[in-house]
Amino acid sequence: MVFRHRVAAARPALNQRGPSFVLRGAGLLEFLIALLIFSTGMTGVMAAQLASKRAMFDARQQSVAAALAADMLARIAANPSQVTAYAAASAGDAENARPEPAVNCHHSLCTPEQLVLFDLWLWEGALLGAAATDHEVKTGGLIAPRACFQYAAPLLTLTLSWRSSAGSFAGESTAMACGSLVEGVYDAGDAEAGNNRLARQLQLSSFVPGSP
């Protein structure tokens, strides 16, 4: 009688370490790629939000400038005999702000000449944001404003200049270079001096009835 024995072939022991290391390495690489994509996306989102906030702020400044210009032209139209006195003025220099006039025309009757001083003082305060403060810091008005008048009877032109939060490719120019003499106040830091790339201007004109 012949006995036959089957000998099971020895199976090679699986090396668990090799595949484990491969899997771990691949997982780390995928994580780093995902992190890079996420970081890039978040940077883009933050940049878009910052640009949006700047655009909203500049649009608000434009609206404030339009309201202020219309207010001053209305004041002059209400006191037309003094249009030349208004036109000779300038406003917006915070370091040399107009002093408060001796007569408050809200509480007392004023002559046309006194009304000019009161109007300009009150309006300059609004231009500089004196009416809106937060912990004694001015939060209203325009940034670095300058106001200039030009009168060629009967047309009165008011130009407002202010500083924008974002620069343009070239400084804006108008018939009146209002504020251009203020050295560096409207310059962008990434260009040569006198570039005025942060300057924004609004110009309104009105016929003053009854002006001399």
- Between CA 19 and CA 23 the distance in angstroms is 6
- Between CA 35 and CA 30 the distance in angstroms is 9
Read off the pLDDT band of 90 (50, 70, 90).
confident
Mean residue pLDDT of the chain comes to 80
Half-sphere exposure of 180 (CA within 13 A, CB side): 12
The average pLDDT across 15-44 equals 70
pLDDT over threshold 90, residue 67: yes
Phi/psi for 142 (5° steps) reads -115, 155
Burial class of residue 207 in the structure, from the number of CB atoms within 10 Å of its CB (0-12 exposed, 13-18 middle, 19+ buried): exposed
Query: What is the reported pLDDT for 175?
Result: 42
pLDDT over threshold 90, residue 205: yes
Query: What is the reported pLDDT for 171?
Result: 46
Q: Is there a contact between 115 and 81 (Cβ–Cβ < 8 Å)?
A: no
Phi/psi for 133 (5° steps) reads -130, 155
Q: How far is CA 1 from the centre of its chain?
A: 105
pTM given for the model: 0.70
